[in-house]
C-alpha cells in the first residue's frame, strides 16, 4: 500500500479515536462498525508496520493510544487489547525523539487502562459508584485494592494485552509478565465477587482464553488458581467452565489441546470442592457447575448454525475414556444431579456409538443411582440421547437391559419423554 494512503488512514483513525465518546450510551454497548472500534484495531496495526522504509507519524499514533485503552466503551478497549498483538510481534524501534520503542509506548498505554479499575463510594448525584483514579506502579497498587472495589471490566483488556506481551519476544516481555501476575490475581478475585453479586461480564471469555493460553505454555498455575478461587461459588465456576467449553467448541486449532487443559481443570476442582455439598447450597448454579465439570461442547448464543458447529466439534472432541479416572471421581459427587446426566449425554455424543451403548450407559446408571424421581423431567439432553442409542440389532443384551432400566425408571418417576421411549419397543 502506498505510504500516502497509510498517512491518510493514520489521520482518519486518529481523528476517529479523539472524537469525544457518546457517553449517553452505556459503556457495555456493542456496535462493532463504529469508527472508534476501527481506530482501536487499526492504530496498533499502523504502529506495528511503521519503520524507516514506511515513514509514518509514530509519535502521533503513540499520542492517542491511551484514548483507546481508557475509552468510555468496553468494546473499544478490548478491540485494542487484541490488536496490540501486532505490536508485540514487531521489532523494537526506539524513537529518537522520545526514546521509547513501540513496545514500551504500547505497554504504557495498556497500563493507563487500569486507572479506573477501582470503584469508589456511592455518589448520590450520579446514581453510581465513583471511579477514583488508581496510579501505578500497578504491581504494588493493584493487590492492595479490596476485592469488592475491583471493577472487572477495566481489568480484562489490560490482562489480554499484557499476557500477549509477556509471551512475546518483545523488549517489554519481562515487565509485562510481572504485571500479568497481579492482573490474574485481581481477575480471579473480581470474577468471584461479581458472580456472587450477579453482575454482568460480557468479556469473560477473553479472560478465560488468557488463562488457557498460559496453561498451554506450561504455566498451569493461573488455571488452577481460578478453579480453586471459584470452587465454592457455583455461578463463578459454572461461568468459567462454560467459557472454556465454548472456546474449545469454536476454536478448531485449540480443540486438540482440550485433554491437557481439562485434566488440570477437573483435577483442581475435584481436589478443592470435596463432596460438593457447599456448591449444592446454591441449587441452580451449583448444579450447573457440577454438570459443567464434565467437558462437552457448548454453544455461543450468537451461533446461527448450531448443528454444524456441534458436528464439527464432535469430530475431534476428547474421547471420554481419556478422562475416565477423573470421571469416576466426578461421578461420586455428581450422583442424582440432572445436569450431570445431561453433561454425560452431551459428551457421549462425541464418542463412538459402541462406547455410548456400553460405558456411556453404565456411567448413566451410576449417576442416576436408582433415584429417578430426582432427575425425571429435569433433563434436557438425556432422553434424546437415550432415543438415539436404541437399536435392537446393534445393542448387546446387557446393553438393552441397562437401557430399559434407565427408561423404565424415568417413566415410572413420571418423565413424559421417557414414557414415549418405552413405545419404541412395542
Strands (E), 14-112: none
- Residue 194 in contact with residue 173, Cβ under 8 Å? no
Amino acid 112: pLDDT? 97
Per-residue pLDDT at 153 exceeds 70: yes
- 242-301, pLDDT tens digit by residue? 999 999 999 999 999 999 999 999 999 999 998 888 888 887 899 999 999 999 999 999
Residue 96 has pLDDT above 60, yes or no: no
* pLDDT confidence bin for 95, thresholds 50/70/90: low
Cα separation, 4 vs 105, in Å, equals 24
Take residue 397 and report the three cell numbers written for it: 443384551
- Chain-centre distance of CA 85, in angstroms? 19
Output the furthest CA–CA distance in the chain (Å, rounded).
85
191-to-80, 184, 222 alpha-carbon distances in Å: 22, 10, 13
- Bridge partners (DSSP) of residue 129 are 122
Q: What is the pTM of this model?
A: 0.93
Q: State the pLDDT confidence band at 52, using cuts at 50, 70 and 90.
A: low
Q: Which residue(s) pair with 128 in the sheet?
A: 123
| Torsion angle of the four alpha carbons 304, 305, 306, 307, in this order, in degrees rounded to the nearest 10 | 170
Tell whether the model's pLDDT for residue 98 goes beyond 70.
Answer: no
**For residues 127-150, b (16+ Cβ closer than 10 Å) or e, as one string?**
eeeeeeebeeebeeebeebeeebb
Least confident of 117-131, 197-211, 239-253: 117-131
Amino acid at each position: 500500500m502506498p505510504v500516502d494512503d497509510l498517512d491518510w488512514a493514520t489521520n482518519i483513525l486518529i481523528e476517529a479515536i479523539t472524537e469525544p465518546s457518546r457517553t449517553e450510551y452505556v459503556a457495555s454497548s456493542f456496535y462493532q462498525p463504529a469508527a472508534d472500534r476501527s481506530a482501536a484495531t487499526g492504530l496498533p496495526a499502523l504502529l506495528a508496520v511503521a519503520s524507516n522504509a514506511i515513514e509514518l507519524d509514530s509519535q502521533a499514533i503513540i499520542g492517542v493510544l491511551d484514548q483507546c485503552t481508557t475509552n468510555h466503551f468496553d468494546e473499544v478497549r478490548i478491540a485494542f487489547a487484541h490488536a496490540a498483538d501486532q505490536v508485540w510481534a514487531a521489532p523494537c524501534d526506539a524513537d529518537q525523539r522520545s526514546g521509547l520503542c513501540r513496545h514500551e509506548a504500547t505497554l504504557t498505554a495498556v497500563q493507563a487502562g487500569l486507572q479506573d479499575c477501582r470503584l469508589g463510594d456511592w455518589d448520590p448525584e450520579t446514581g453510581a459508584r465513583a471511579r477514583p483514579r488508581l496510579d501505578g506502579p500497578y504491581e504494588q497498587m493493584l493487590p492492595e485494592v479490596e476485592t469488592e472495589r475491583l471493577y472487572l471490566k477495566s481489568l480484562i483488556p489490560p490482562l489480554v494485552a499484557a499476557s500477549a506481551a509477556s509471551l512475546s519476544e518483545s523488549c517489554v516481555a519481562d515487565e509485562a509478565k510481572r504485571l500479568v501476575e497481579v492482573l490474574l490475581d485481581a481477575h480471579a478475585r473480581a470474577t468471584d465477587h461479581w458472580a456472587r453479586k450477579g453482575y454482568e461480564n460480557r468479556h469473560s471469555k477473553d479472560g478465560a482464553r488468557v488463562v488457557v493460553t498460559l496453561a498451554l505454555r506450561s504455566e498451569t498455575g493461573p488455571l488452577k488458581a481460578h478453579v480453586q478461587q471459584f470452587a465454592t461459588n457455583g455461578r463463578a465456576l459454572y461461568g468459567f467452565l462454560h467459557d472454556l467449553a465454548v472456546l474449545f467448541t469454536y476454536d478448531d486449532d485449540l480443540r486438540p489441546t482440550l485433554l491437557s487443559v481439562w485434566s488440570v481443570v477437573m483435577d483442581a476442582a475435584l481436589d478443592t470442592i470435596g463432596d460438593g455439598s457447599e456448591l449444592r447450597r446454591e441449587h441452580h448454579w451449583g448444579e450447573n457447575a457440577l454438570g459443567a465439570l464434565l467437558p462437552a461442547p457448548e454453544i455461543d448464543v450468537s451461533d446461527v448454525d448450531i448443528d454444524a458447529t456441534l458436528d464439527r466439534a464432535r469430530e475431534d472432541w476428547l474421547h471420554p475414556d481419556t478422562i475416565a479416572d477423573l470421571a469416576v471421581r466426578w461421578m461420586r459427587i455428581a450422583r442424582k444431579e440432572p445436569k450431570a446426566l445431561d453433561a454425560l449425554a452431551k459428551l457421549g455424543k462425541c464418542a463412538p456409538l459402541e462406547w455410548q451403548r456400553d460405558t456411556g450407559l453404565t456411567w448413566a446408571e451410576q449417576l442416576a443411582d436408582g433415584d429417578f424421581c430426582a432427575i425425571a423431567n429435569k433433563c434436557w439432553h438425556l432422553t434424546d440421547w437415550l432415543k438415539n442409542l436404541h437399536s435392537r440389532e446393534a445393542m448387546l443384551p446387557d446393553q438393552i437391559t441397562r437401557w430399559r432400566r434407565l427408561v423404565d425408571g424415568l417413566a415410572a418417576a413420571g418423565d413424559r419423554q421417557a414414557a414415549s421411549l418405552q413405545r419404541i419397543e412395542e
